[in-house]
Structure 1
C-alpha cells in the first residue's frame, strides 16, 4: 500500500507543470543569471599588470636608477607594470592612440613625465606610482651616495613597508559570490511548500474532488499523509540535487569539500519547506491561489532577509535584529551552508540544523493538530 500511494504521489508531482516551472526551471534560470552577473566580481580585486610604455631615449639611459625601479615593478608574478619599450616618442604616441598601452613615461629634465589619452583607474595608478617615485628619489639618491654597495629593494620601497600579515580564519578562500547562491538554495528549499500545499489540498474533502475520494478510503489518515509527505520530499530533493549539480558542475561554483553535509542541509531544508506548505494549507481557509500567493510572498521576504538580493542585508539583520534572523528559515538554511564553507568546526552549523529541525517539527505538529480536528458532515 505504501508503494502504491508513494508512486502515485511521485507521478502527480512530476506532472504538475506549475511546480516544474517554479521548482525546477526558475532556479536554474536564476543561477545562470547569477553566474553571468557575479562571475567578474571575484576578479574585481585582482589587479592586472598595467600596459605601460617607456621611451628609452638618451635621458632614460642617463638615469639608471629609474630604469632599475621599472625593472623591479615590471617583473614577477605580482608585477605592477607590463612595460613596452620605445626608442622614439612618436611610436609610443601611436600605441597610446590605439589603446595598446594605458600611458607612457618619458624623462624630461631628469623628471619622469606621464602621457595619457584619457582618465581611468590604470592612469591614476600610474600617476600615483610616479608621484611616489619623485617624492622618494632624493632620499634614495642620498642613501646610494653614502652606501654605494648597499642593495636596495626598489619594489619594497615603492610599495611601502607592510606591518601587517594577511591571515585567514578559514581553510577556504573568501568568495564574495556565494551568498546569492546560498540564498537561491534556501529559496528552492522554501518552495518545497508548494509540494506540501498540494499534498494537503489532495487530502481535504472540501478543497478537491480527489481529496473527497481519498477521505472516504478505508485507510488511516496518518498513513496517507506520511506517504504523501515522503513523495513530496523525494521529488523536491531531486530538484535540489539537480540544482546543486548545475551550480557546482556546469557553472563550476566552488561550494567547498563537504558535499555530504551540503546534501544533508538541503534535505533538512526540503523537509522544512514541505512542512511550511502543509502549515499554510492546514491553518488557512483561503483558496488555493491565495495560499500559493502567501507561500511565495513569505518565501521571497525570507530570502531577502537571507541575502539573496542584497548580501549585506543578512549581516544587517544579524546585527540589528538577531531574533528575527534566527526565526527566518531561509536565513538559517543559507547560514548553515555558509558555515560549511568557511568554518572548520561544526558548532554554529549544528545550531542552524537544530533550529531548522525544530521549525519543521513545530509546523508539522500544527498541521497534524489542524488535520485531526477536521471533519465533514457529508462528502
Structure 2
C-alpha cells in the first residue's frame, strides 16, 4: 500500500495538466485580478477634499465655524492660530449666558465630536477638508474656476455653514485632485458633519433663549458633546473586507474542484478496462480497496498542498486579508480538497466512460458550477446573490458554492458556528460521493483481462 501511495504521488507530480489547473491557473488568475482591481478598495476611502473657506464678515461672526473647520482639516487653534482670525473658542463661565459664548461652545462640542468620531473609527485623525482661506465669495469661485478647489465653505446671514461644490463634482465628473468616488464619499460625509453642526448650533441657541441658566451648567455642555459624538463607524462583519475578496474566494472554489483530476486519475488507473496499468493492478496481490485508499490519500495530499500554495499567494502576495483566521482558512482548504477528491473518486468510478471523457469533466464541471459562485464578473456575482436569496437549496448542493461559503463564513461572521455548519455540509457531500463510488466500483466486473 505504501508503494502504491508513493507511486501515485509521483504520478500526480508528473501530471502537467493537473498541475496547471490546480497551481498555475489560480496563481495566474489571482495575479490578473490583483493587477486589474488591486486598487479598487482605495476608491471607497475618505480623503480630504480641497475647499476654499470664505472668511468674510459672516464667517467672523460665527465664532465656532473656524473651530469646526479646523477639526475637519486636522489643524489646531492653540493661541488663536488657525486658517484665519476667529472668535475665542474657550469662552469663560462669566460669558456663559451670552449668545456668542453659546455658539462657540456648541461649535466646540461639534468639533470635538467630529474629531473623536474620526479618531475612534480609524485609529487616526480623519481629515475631510484641505482648507484654503479666502476673503470673499468671488475669490472662492475663482479657485473653483482655476481647478484648485472642488468647492467652498461659507456662512450665511443666520450663522449656518453652507457647503457649495463645483458643477463638475455635482454632475459626477472627476477632478484631478481626487478620484470621483473618493470625492463623492467625502462630500457626503462632510455634508452630514455640517448638518450636524448647524442643527446642534441652532438647538443650543434655542435652548439658551428659553433657559439662559443652562449655560452655567457643565452637564449641559457635556450632554451636547455626547450627542455630537454619537455617530461612530462600525462594521457588521468580523473585520473590514476587501472589495475584491469575493472573486478570490470564488476562484478558490473553482480551483478546489479542478483538483478532483488527481482522484479521477487514481481511480481510472486502477480499472482494467481503461488502461494496461489497470490490468496489472487488477491481478496484483494488493486488494483493490487498498489501492484506492492509497490513491485517494496521495491525491488528497497533492491537491491540499496545491491549494494551500494558492491560498498563501492570495493572502500574502495579493494582500486579501482573512481577519487573523489563517489557520481556519488552511483547514477550509484541506477540507475542500478532501471533498474534491471524493467527488473525483465518484466521477472516476462511473462505468462505461473513457479516461479522456472523465478528464474533460475535470474542467467542465468546475467551470459550470463556478458561474453560480460569482467568478465571472458582476453578472455572475448578481446571479450568485439572487440564488442565495431566492433559491438557497441550489447553493447547498453546489460544491463550488459551499467551498466559497467556507471563506465567507471566515470573513463575515464573528463566531465559527456558520463555518462549522458549512464544514459539516462538505463532509456530508464527501460521504455521499464516496458511498456512490464504492457502490459503482463494487458492482464492476470484467469478462476477461
TM tier, smaller: 0.7 to 0.9
2:352 and 2:148 map into 1 onto residues whose CA distance is 68
Tell me the secondary structure at the aligned position of residue 168 of structure 2: coil
What corresponds to 1:39 in structure 2? 38
Can you give the 5+ residue segments of structure 1 that lack an aligned partner in the other structure?
A: none
Whether the 8 Å contact between 2:254 and 2:370 is mirrored in structure 1 is yes
> What RMSD in Å do the two structures reach over aligned CA positions?
3.9
2:165 and 2:437 map into 1 onto residues whose CA distance is 73
Equivalences for residues 111-126 of structure 1 within 5 A = 114=164, 116=166, 118-119=168-169, 120=172, 122=183, 125=188
Q: Structure 1-normalised TM-score? A: 0.80
Equivalences for residues 1-379 of structure 1 within 5 A = 2-56=1-55, 61=60, 64=63, 66-75=65-74, 76=115, 77-86=125-134, 96=144, 99-105=147-153, 114=164, 116=166, 118-119=168-169, 120=172, 122=183, 125=188, 139=202, 143=206, 146=209, 171-309=238-376, 310-379=380-449
1:374–1:134 distance in 2 versus 1, CA, 3 Å: closer
1:83 and 1:209 map into 2 onto residues whose CA distance is 79
Shift of residue 273, structure 1, vs aligned partner: 0.7
1:280–1:116 distance in 2 versus 1, CA, 3 Å: same
What does the per-residue CA deviation read over 1:275-316, in whole Å, with 9 as the maximum and x for residues that have no partner?
Answer: 212212222533334333434333233333334344454443
Whether the 8 Å contact between 1:189 and 1:269 is mirrored in structure 2 is yes
Shift of residue 207, structure 1, vs aligned partner: 1.9
1:280 and 1:307 map into 2 onto residues whose CA distance is 25
Can you give the 5+ residue segments of structure 2 that lack an aligned partner in the other structure?
A: 75-114, 116-124, 173-179
Tell me the secondary structure at the aligned position of residue 217 of structure 1: coil
Whether the 8 Å contact between 2:128 and 2:190 is mirrored in structure 1 is no
1:332 and 1:289 map into 2 onto residues whose CA distance is 27
The answer to which of 41-50 and 262-271 deviates more is: 41-50
Whether the 8 Å contact between 1:53 and 1:101 is mirrored in structure 2 is yes
Q: How many residues of Structure 1 are paired with residues of Structure 2 in the alignment?
A: 374
Tell me the secondary structure at the aligned position of residue 225 of structure 1: helix
2:228 and 2:411 map into 1 onto residues whose CA distance is 33
